């Protein structure tokens, strides 16, 4: 069975995202990763219309970001999104941010499908869409932080 292609999300670093060190500030990496998650939601059937109709959404409950390289003003960003596991109510997602061919940051997150403030099962079609995107977890996934 062929490995599914990652979903892609693109953005460009804005001037207001630059910090006092002259590169992309920490919260904006997470902002871009959040937009990549929203892109995933649109692709699997959890988009704006679904949220409005059902009141359900995908909530991030845990995240681990690795800042690997500095990103400069005006850089074009490409985020590859991979689903590495999925369950009845949850999905484990890895985002990889690139400038050109250089991996500059990663985010691993655990997201839960929520209805009325509680975890709830994915609709069948959404679960199927997630399953079709599952790939093996990258080597950085599941790591702890050591000092």
* Per-residue pLDDT in tens (0 to 9) along the chain, 147 residues: 677 899 999 999 999 999 999 999 999 999 999 999 999 999 999 999 999 999 999 999 999 999 999 999 999 999 999 999 999 999 999 999 999 999 999 999 999 999 999 999 999 999 999 999 999 999 999 988 877
Would residue 147 count as lying in a domain? no
Would residue 77 count as lying in a domain? yes
Would residue 139 count as lying in a domain? no
CA-atom Rg of the chain in angstroms:
16
Residue 1's pLDDT is what? Answer: 61
Would residue 136 count as lying in a domain? no
Residue 114's pLDDT is what? Answer: 98
Q: What is the CATH number of the domain that holds 93?
A: 3.10.129.10
Would residue 110 count as lying in a domain? yes
Q: ∠ CA 141-143-147 to the nearest 5 degrees? A: 145
User: How many domains does one find in the chain?
Assistant: 1
Q: In which domain, by residue range, is 85 found? A: 7-131
* Long-range CB pairs of 119-127, under 8 A, 24+ apart, other chains included: 119/89, 119/90, 120/56, 120/89, 121/88, 121/89, 122/86, 122/88, 122/89, 123/45, 125/45, 126/44, 126/45, 126/46, 127/86, 127/88
Would residue 142 count as lying in a domain? no
Please report how many Cα atoms fall inside a 13 Å half-sphere around the Cα of residue 23, on the Cβ side. 11
Q: Which among 69, 65, 68, 46 has a CA at the least distance from the CA of 57?
A: 46
Residue 137's pLDDT is what? Answer: 95
């Amino acid at each position: 069975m062929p490995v599914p292609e990652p979903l892609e999300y693109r953005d460009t670093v804005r001037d207001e995202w630059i910090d006092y060190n002259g590169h992309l500030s920490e919260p904006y990496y997470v902002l871009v990763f959040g937009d990549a998650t929203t892109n995933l939601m649109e692709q699997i059937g959890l988009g704006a219309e679904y949220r409005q109709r059902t009141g359900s959404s995908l909530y991030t409950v845990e995240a681990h970001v690795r800042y690997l390289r500095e990103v400069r003003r005006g850089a074009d960003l490409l985020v590859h999104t991979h689903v590495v596991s999925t369950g009845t109510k949850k999905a484990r997602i890895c985002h990889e941010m690139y400038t050109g061919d250089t991996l500059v940051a990663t985010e691993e997150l655990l997201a839960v499908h929520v209805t009325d403030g509680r975890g709830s099962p994915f609709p069948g079609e959404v679960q199927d869409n997630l399953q079709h995107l599952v790939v093996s977890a990258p080597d950085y996934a599941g790591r702890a932080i050591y000092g």
